[in-house]
């Protein structure tokens, strides 16, 4: 073997590992329990197991791509570094004040997002830059160093700098960064102009502080992971997945690890986009359900929707505004529900709820036999006949229906319901929660859900896809090859990509066109410099220009993909028409005779990575009858309960095979099911395309 690629995705319950051989168009897959105390340990154990099992020489791996939820979890669990803040005099309370907006207006007991840095570690220094970038009060570097000394004496190992209006002129932040760097070379430093050089103080501050909070953890982890991968005998480049769906090198990831927060789910959307395109579908609801959470993303026109602001560490998982705002480009994702390890319980009113607490990797679901005693979604799915206890993860892990049933004893006693009634209730509640969140997400974007296809990935995604799709009134669902390790597969398809942003607030009709073009070129040059370090094929270099625009007097902007440059005064009408079209698509009409305003300028620079991409094809020989493993009773309540269902081996299903429900299709990493009246066909790409029966109304 030669020129193999290795993908590693660390999730909350399992670590997914995939090796892809481009010459044979073949992939090798392994799932390992995540080791929360030391995530790298689970990775190395899993990689060693895969290489030994499939006889792969470490030296044949020429590229390693990695995604992890480690940094997101550090924010959620408040397990980052002890950090301090140095800011403009008079602004130390901004972390506490936030935006003064309540995410639930009438909740008198509301819990606002807790600052990552306590107030006593927030320090002020004399300095002031105007909104036009002119120095009003020079930065007092003696005060900066004095406050840094005090923070270090308090045990701080990371310091964030955020000065007023540094997005337009970073001179004061640069000087402070250099002064403290000379004084305390062992302290991790983050300045806002490096992380989020954009207008709006609180969002910029929140992003900068979050980066400082996870930076020491990220640098230690990435160094250790890179070293351990090399010690295995793998010497190819080590690349990291960013939240925007692109790859970067270790140096960029260590500088601004905040860009990696949604790396795993973003990779899953890339896989869904690719396999959707292979199946001729360009509108998808990418649905990824793992062991801890379920997330969804819209794909329109074959492109994932990109957002430039998202929330981390929400106080209430599904409530917008209850988290820490992070200004970075990310594939737009919504957390829509629980995962396989989410625990079922009764609330104060005696109503059945699922999550947000999860059994995680340890102890995991009760049926895993690792010490779990509480009923989870996976336990419910097993009791309903959706999972095969003898073929979970290809038989490498035997799951126990008796242990799953025993975990329901307390709920049975409290509710008087049977185990199966409770198991279906858990499965249905999770599906309804996910369907409801997906409906709202699609409606907010002004889209019709009936025009979308559900693309199911993640270990639990295919198990729940059929019922979720029916609840949303979708007519089609697709389960791609290797769906259970969808995010790891997506890592192998990603290009190298770097996004950059700068604020330039100006009315379109008063724009300095030379400066406007100059900002774009500077951003592109900076992004290309980082991109070249990834080993990307710069001959395939692509640049996309965007702008945050609004009508004068509005508070919020919309992101507009601009016509290609270079820009001059002659570009004015084309830019205005592009903005107006996007605005009308969103809001139907435009206000009369109101000036257009530019706010932020953005670039996205990408290039293919040698060895990237994937070309999987389905099996060409055999028949559906050859793939039939047998039958088992599977619970479909609309068919009256347990129904005798056909069980198929996915690896033996040939292209063109047609199946009718009720049926179950098993592969090592996931299980797909579909009920009576549904049909399934095997596409040339190997994807399973399910046509659903009449909707549930």
User: Residue 1 has what pLDDT?
Assistant: 39
Contact assessment for residue 479 and residue 691, using Cβ atoms and an 8 Å cutoff: no
User: Residue 696 has what pLDDT?
Assistant: 47
Quote the tokens at residue 598. 């530019």
- Residues with Cβ within 8 Å of 460's Cβ and at least 6 positions away in sequence, in order, are 289, 290, 291, 294, 339, 340, 377, 378, 381, 670
Closest to 505 in 3D by CA, of 136, 168, 205, 171? 168
Distance CA 498, CA 241 (A): 11
User: Residue 616 has what pLDDT?
Assistant: 67
Could you state, in chain order, the average pLDDT of each consecutive group of 10 residues for the chain (697 residues)?
Answer: 82 87 85 87 93 93 90 87 97 92 88 93 97 95 98 98 96 97 97 95 96 96 93 92 93 94 89 87 89 86 88 80 92 82 90 84 86 92 94 83 94 95 95 89 82 91 94 93 88 92 96 96 94 87 95 94 94 96 91 94 92 70 90 94 95 93 92 95 92 70
Contact assessment for residue 304 and residue 401, using Cβ atoms and an 8 Å cutoff: no
Closest to 470 in 3D by CA, of 316, 197, 677, 286? 677
Q: Under DSSP, is residue 244 helix (H, G, I), strand (E, B) or coil?
A: coil
β-bridge partners, 7: 18, 65
β-bridge partners, 646: 631, 663
Distance CA 176, CA 126 (A): 12
Closest to 694 in 3D by CA, of 472, 454, 475? 475
Residue 527 phi, psi (nearest 5): -65, -40
- Residues with Cβ within 8 Å of 413's Cβ and at least 6 positions away in sequence, in order, are none
Q: Where are the beta strands (DSSP E) in 627-669?
A: 628-636, 641-649, 658-660, 663-666
Closest to 125 in 3D by CA, of 113, 138, 116, 115? 138
β-bridge partners, 453: 284
Quote the tokens at residue 681. 């066909």
The distance of Cα 171 from the centroid of its chain, to the nearest Å, equals 34
Quote the tokens at residue 91. 């602004």
Residue 329: DSSP 8-state = -
Distance CA 152, CA 173 (A): 19
Q: Between β-strands 658-660 and 641-649, what pairing exists: parallel, antiparallel or unpaired?
A: unpaired
Domain boundaries, the chain: 4-75+220-260, 78-213, 263-489+622-697, 496-607
Distance CA 672, CA 465 (A): 8
User: Residue 202 has what pLDDT?
Assistant: 95
Distance CA 22, CA 4 (A): 7
User: Residue 695 has what pLDDT?
Assistant: 59
User: Residue 697 has what pLDDT?
Assistant: 43
Closest to 219 in 3D by CA, of 247, 256, 191? 256
Please tell me whether the peptide bond between 65 and the residue prior to it is cis, using omega within 30 degrees of 0: no
β-bridge partners, 294: 289, 337
User: Residue 611 has what pLDDT?
Assistant: 73
- Work out whether the CA dihedral 302, 304, 305, 306 comes out positive or negative: negative
Dihedral (C-alpha) 443, 446, 448, 454: value to the nearest 10 degrees?
A: -60
Closest to 396 in 3D by CA, of 371, 368, 422, 376? 368
Quote the tokens at residue 413. 């006693």
Domain 4-75+220-260: CATH architecture, name and number where available: 2-Layer Sandwich (3.30)
Q: Under DSSP, is residue 152 helix (H, G, I), strand (E, B) or coil?
A: helix
β-bridge partners, 300: 303
Domain 496-607: CATH architecture, name and number where available: 2-Layer Sandwich (3.30)
Closest to 12 in 3D by CA, of 484, 358, 427, 398? 358
Residue 74: DSSP 8-state = H
Distance CA 296, CA 599 (A): 29
User: Residue 334 has what pLDDT?
Assistant: 83
The overall pTM is greater than 0.85: yes
Contact assessment for residue 325 and residue 311, using Cβ atoms and an 8 Å cutoff: yes
């Amino acid at each position: 073997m030669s020129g193999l690629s290795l993908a590693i995705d660390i999730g909350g319950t399992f670590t997914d590992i995939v090796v892809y051989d481009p010459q044979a168009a073949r992939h090798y897959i392994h799932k390992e329990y995540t080791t929360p105390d030391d995530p790298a340990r689970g990775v190395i154990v899993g990689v060693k197991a895969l290489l030994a099992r499939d006889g792969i020489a470490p030296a044949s791996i020429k590229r390693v791509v990695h995604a992890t939820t480690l940094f997101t979890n550090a924010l959620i669990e408040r397990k980052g570094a002890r950090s301090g803040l140095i800011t403009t005099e008079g602004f130390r309370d901004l972390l506490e004040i936030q935006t003064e907006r309540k995410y639930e207006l009438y909740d008198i007991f509301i819990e606002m997002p807790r600052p990552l840095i306590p107030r006593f570690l927030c320090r002020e220094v004399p300095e002031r830059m105007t909104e036009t970038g002119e120095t009003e009060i020079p930065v007092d570097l003696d005060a900066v160093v004095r406050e840094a000394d005090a923070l270090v004496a308090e045990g701080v190992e990371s310091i964030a700098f955020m000065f007023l209006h540094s997005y337009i002129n970073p001179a004061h932040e640069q000087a402070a960064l250099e002064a403290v760097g000379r004084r305390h070379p062992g302290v991790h430093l983050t300045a806002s102009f490096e992380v989020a050089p954009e207008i709006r103080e609180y969002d910029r501050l929140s992003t900068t502080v979050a980066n400082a909070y996870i930076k020491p953890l990220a640098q230690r982890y990435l160094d250790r992971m890179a070293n351990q991968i090399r010690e295995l005998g793998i010497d190819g480049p080590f690349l990291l997945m960013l939240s925007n769906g692109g790859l970067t090198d270790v140096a960029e990831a260590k500088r601004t690890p905040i860009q990696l927060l949604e790396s795993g789910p973003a990779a899953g959307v890339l896989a869904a986009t690719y396999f959707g395109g292979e199946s001729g579908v360009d509108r998808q609801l990418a649905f990824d359900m793992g062991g801890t959470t379920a997330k969804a993303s819209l794909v329109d026109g074959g492109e994932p929707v990109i957002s430039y602001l998202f929330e981390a560490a929400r106080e209430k998982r599904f409530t917008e505004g209850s988290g820490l705002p992070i200004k970075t480009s990310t594939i737009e994702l919504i957390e829509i529900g629980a995962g396989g390890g989410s625990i079922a319980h009764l609330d104060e009113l005696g109503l059945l709820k699922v999550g947000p607490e999860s059994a995680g990797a340890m102890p995991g679901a009760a049926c895993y036999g690792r010490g779990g005693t509480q009923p989870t979604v996976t336990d419910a799915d097993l009791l309903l006949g959706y999972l095969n206890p003898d073929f979970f993860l290809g038989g490498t892990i035997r799951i126990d229906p008796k242990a799953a049933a025993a975990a329901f004893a307390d709920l049975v006693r409290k509710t008087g319901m049977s185990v199966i009634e409770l198991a279906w209730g858990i499965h249905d509640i999770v599906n309804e929660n996910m369907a409801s969140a997906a409906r709202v997400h699609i409606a907010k974007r002004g889209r019709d859900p009936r025009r979308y296809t559900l693309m199911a990935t993640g270990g639990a995604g295919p198990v729940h896809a059929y019922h979720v799709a029916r609840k949303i009134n979708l007519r089609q669902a697709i389960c791609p090859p290797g769906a259970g390790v969808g995010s790891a597969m997506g890592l192998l398809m990603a290009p190298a990509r770097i996004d950059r942003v700068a604020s330039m607030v100006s009315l379109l009709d008063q724009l300095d066109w030379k400066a406007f073009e100059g900002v774009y070129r500077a951003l592109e040059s900076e992004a290309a410099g980082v991109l070249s370090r990834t080993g990307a094929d710069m001959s395939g270099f692509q640049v996309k220009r965007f702008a945050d625009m609004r009508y004068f007097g509005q508070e919020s902007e919309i992101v507009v993909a601009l016509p290609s440059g270079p820009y001059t005064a002659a570009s004015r009408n084309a830019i205005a028409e592009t903005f107006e079209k996007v605005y009308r698509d969103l809001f139907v009409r435009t206000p009369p005779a109101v000036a257009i305003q530019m706010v932020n300028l953005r670039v996205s620079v990408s290039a293919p990575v040698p060895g990237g991409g994937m070309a999987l094809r389905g099996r060409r020989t055999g028949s559906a009858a050859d793939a039939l493993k047998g039958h088992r009773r599977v619970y479909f309540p609309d068919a009256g309960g347990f129904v005798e269902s056909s069980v198929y081996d996915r690896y033996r299903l040939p292209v063109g095979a047609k199946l009718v429900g009720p049926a179950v299709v098993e592969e090592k990493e996931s299980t797909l099911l579909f009920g009576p009246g549904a049909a399934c066909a095997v596409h040339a790409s190997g994807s399973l395309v399910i046509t659903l029966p009449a909707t549930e109304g």
